């Protein structure tokens, strides 16, 4: 379990960029990715805004005949995986194929396919259902399609743990490599749930922002005037490798993953534990795993959803974990720009955290104009900030009280 695990590739597809470089540039200048929904007619919906991926062309990443075999979340995962594999310079040869695995999380999966095929059933009967319906929509086919694309024959799995899905996928991949069950894992998450049923469902729970007239200002974590999250789509994929394996093949090393924590609230189907106990235990577990002190953490990429409950309770959790040091740690929520990718959030935000460690720049929390008195930490409001960072934490908390935290470290050789 002492095997070191490093990150050698990052692929991002988000509402602020079609690749990691574009996404990172736009995050640093505080560009919002939220706009009026174009994926469907929002007439009658209380929430009409989302963080859509703009200009995404599946044919840039797959053959035309394959497009109909994959839901949008799978297409986005393939696009982000292609970026990450290319950056890592990974060549999956027959000699190493069974030591390379894939582990991708998604909270919703192919809702777009499910809704489309249900319409086909209702309008034309069962003979109108596509034979690709099931493999285009089930959650594990993101991992399946990526493994097929690259010939990765090692561990192949998927997580569906709501908004913690891809953080769990990355953490479990980290542990697979640590215990030598694999040498490389292509891991992260993907989500494409900006659909009528999904948006309507979250809106009926009153979970979504209805600041429809000002979409670019709707996602405002830790702000007193926040009124709900903004649903987003996209994918964040990372290449994780044993340090020994990465060094042997001369891979570019971007960062290390050194700690993983997971916990359950056992409290409520949607609301966080009112004492933030689950989030506290997940964060503390990363420190124990990495054998570091809380005071060594120098940045937190928060779950920061822009909902009244989450932002306040995450703040409470950070204070419990870090004590007085909590006021010295920069905390930011990039969901203020990317929206909330649900099960894909952890993968995207882990990738963003890698870039922050690399460049030693903290992305901002935009739209933080009127801070909530209960949220009184340093949330890096509205402008990116240069900082010296060695360890950075990425939090993901999900419905059902499922929590995950990842601790990353700047790689210095």
pLDDT digits (tens, 9 = 90+) for 132-150: 999 999 999 999 999 999 9
Could you tell me the domains of the chain? Answer: 1-413 (3.40.47.10)
CA distance 36 to 213: 9
Mean pLDDT to the nearest integer, 95-124: 98
Residue 256 CB coordination number (10 Å): 23
Q: Residue 2: pLDDT band by 50, 70, 90 thresholds?
A: confident
Q: Residue 243: pLDDT band by 50, 70, 90 thresholds?
A: very high
Residue % of the chain over a pLDDT of 70: 100
Burial letters 29-58, b for 16+ CB under 10 A, else e: ebebbbbebeeeebeebebbbbbbbeebeb
Which pLDDT score is estimated for 76? Answer: 98
Which pLDDT score is estimated for 126? Answer: 98
Catalytic site positions: 163, 303, 340
Strands (E) in 5-136, as ranges, are: 5-13, 35-36, 49-50, 100-105
CA distance 137 to 153: 22
CA distance 293 to 15: 35
In the three-class reduction of DSSP (H, G, I as helix; E, B as strand; rest coil), residue 100 is classed as strand
pLDDT digits (tens, 9 = 90+) for 347-390: 999 999 999 999 999 999 999 999 999 999 999 999 999 999 99
pLDDT value at 308 more than 70: yes
Helix axis angle, 20-28 to 345-359, nearest 10°: 70
Q: Is the distance from CB of 9 to CB of 19 less than 8 angstroms?
A: no
* Cα separation of the two ends of the chain: 19
Q: Residue 318: pLDDT band by 50, 70, 90 thresholds?
A: very high
pLDDT value at 260 more than 80: yes
CA distance 305 to 209: 11
In sequence order, the 6+-apart residues with CB closer than 8 A to the CB of 178 are 1, 3, 5
Which pLDDT score is estimated for 179? Answer: 96
pLDDT value at 345 more than 90: yes
Average pLDDT, the chain: 97
In sequence order, the 6+-apart residues with CB closer than 8 A to the CB of 262 are 164, 168, 171, 282, 285, 402, 403, 404, 405
Which pLDDT score is estimated for 356? Answer: 98
Which pLDDT score is estimated for 223? Answer: 98
Token output for 196 = 């009528």
Mean pLDDT to the nearest integer, 38-65: 97
Q: Is the distance from CB of 221 to CB of 382 less than 8 angstroms?
A: no
Mean pLDDT to the nearest integer, 189-207: 98
CA distance 175 to 172: 5
Which pLDDT score is estimated for 277? Answer: 97
Q: Residue 184: pLDDT band by 50, 70, 90 thresholds?
A: very high
Nearest to 234 by CA among 357, 339, 350: 339
Mean pLDDT to the nearest integer, 26-38: 98
Which pLDDT score is estimated for 413? Answer: 83
Length of the chain: 413
Which pLDDT score is estimated for 43? Answer: 98
pLDDT digits (tens, 9 = 90+) for 150-182: 999 999 999 999 999 999 999 999 999 999 999
Which pLDDT score is estimated for 1? Answer: 61
What does residue 195 show for φ and ψ, rounded to 5 degrees? Answer: -130, 160
């Amino acid at each position: 379990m002492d095997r070191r695990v490093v990150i050698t590739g990052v692929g991002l597809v988000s509402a602020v960029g079609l690749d990691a470089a574009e996404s990172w540039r736009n995050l640093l200048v505080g560009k919002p990715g939220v706009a009026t929904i174009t994926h469907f007619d929002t007439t009658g919906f209380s929430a009409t805004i989302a963080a859509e991926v703009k200009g995404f062309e599946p044919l840039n990443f797959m053959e035309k005949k394959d497009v109909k075999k994959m839901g949008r979340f799978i297409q986005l995962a393939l696009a982000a995986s292609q970026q990450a594999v290319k950056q890592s310079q990974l060549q999956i040869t027959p000699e190493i194929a069974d030591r390379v695995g894939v582990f991708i999380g998604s909270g919703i999966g192919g809702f777009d396919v499910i809704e489309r095929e249900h319409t086909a059933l209702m309008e034309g009967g069962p003979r109108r259902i596509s034979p690709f319906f099931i493999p285009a929509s089930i959650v594990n086919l993101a991992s399946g399609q990526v493994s097929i694309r690259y010939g990765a024959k090692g561990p192949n799995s998927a997580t569906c743990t709501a908004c913690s899905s891809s953080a769990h996928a990355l953490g479990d991949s980290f542990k697979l490599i640590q215990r030598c069950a694999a040498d490389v894992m292509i891991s992260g998450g993907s989500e494409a749930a900006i659909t009528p049923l999904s948006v309507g469902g979250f809106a009926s729970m009153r979970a979504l922002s209805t600041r429809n007239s000002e979409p670019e200002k709707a996602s405002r974590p830790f702000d007193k005037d926040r009124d709900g999250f903004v649903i987003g789509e996209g994918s964040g994929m990372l290449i994780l490798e044993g340090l020994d394996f990465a060094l042997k093949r001369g891979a570019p090393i971007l960062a290390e993953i050194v700690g993983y924590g997971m916990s359950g609230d056992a409290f409520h189907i949607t609301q966080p534990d009112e004492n933030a106990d689950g989030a506290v235990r997940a964060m503390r577990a990363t420190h124990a795993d990495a054998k570091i002190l809380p005071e060594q953490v120098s940045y937190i990429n928060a779950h920061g959803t822009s909902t009244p409950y989450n932002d306040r309770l995450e703040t409470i959790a950070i204070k419990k974990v870090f004590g007085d040091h909590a006021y010295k740690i920069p905390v930011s929520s990039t969901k203020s720009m990317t929206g909330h990718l649900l099960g894909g959030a952890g993968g995207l935000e882990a990738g963003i955290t890698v870039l922050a460690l690399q460049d030693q720049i903290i992305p901002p929390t935009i739209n933080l104009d009127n801070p909530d008195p209960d949220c009184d930490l340093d949330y890096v409001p509205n402008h990116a900030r240069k900082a010296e960072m060695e360890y950075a934490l990425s939090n993901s908390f999900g419905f059902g009280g499922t929590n995950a935290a990842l601790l990353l470290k700047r790689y210095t050789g």
